[in-house]
Amino acid sequence: MSEIEDKRWSARFILPEQRAGLQRFAAERLKIERPVPDAQQIEDMEITVVQSMEFGAPLSFELYDNGYIREVVGEVHYVDHIRKEFRVKDAKGDTNLVRFLDIVNVTSTLTE
């Protein structure tokens, strides 16, 4: 009898509003808090950026973006100390503005 009750109360269909709400809820559960790098991590990232600019090597930036981590890959062409951001040119030739505060990690994309 419990099997019959389970089927009776199970959802046969979901309204579009319910589906959208469930998708929003699932997306919200995946969000993370902004990671805060310590002084040693910041120093390591600075060294990586300086070496990349010296040799023209592309970098992979992991950025915090409203609860998620996104990646920008490209070469740093300019450091704007007033706005506190990098200007990174990607493989398509687009310029991405990377704010210092959003950077979680920086790694070189060249394999040694």
Q: Is 11 within a domain?
A: no
pLDDT tens per residue, the chain (112 residues)?
Answer: 555 555 555 556 778 888 888 888 888 888 888 888 899 999 999 999 999 988 889 999 999 998 889 999 999 989 999 999 999 999 899 999 999 999 999 998 875 4
Is 27 part of any domain?
Answer: no
- Is 20 within the bounds of a domain? no
- The pLDDT score that the predictor gives to residue 58 is 93
Give a three-class secondary structure readout of the chain.
CHHHHHHHHCCCCCCHHHHHHHHHHHHHHHCCCCCCCCHHHHHHHHHHHHHHHHHCCCEEEEEEECCEEEEEEEEEEEEECCCCEEEEECCCCCEEEEEHHHEEEEEECCCC
Question: What is the count of structural domains for the chain?
Answer: 1
Q: Is residue 8 part of a domain?
A: no
Question: Does any domain span residue 28?
Answer: no
Domain residues for the domain of 65 are 39-108
| Within-domain flag for 97 | yes
User: Which pLDDT belongs to residue 112?
Assistant: 47
Q: What is the CATH number for 81? A: 2.30.30.100
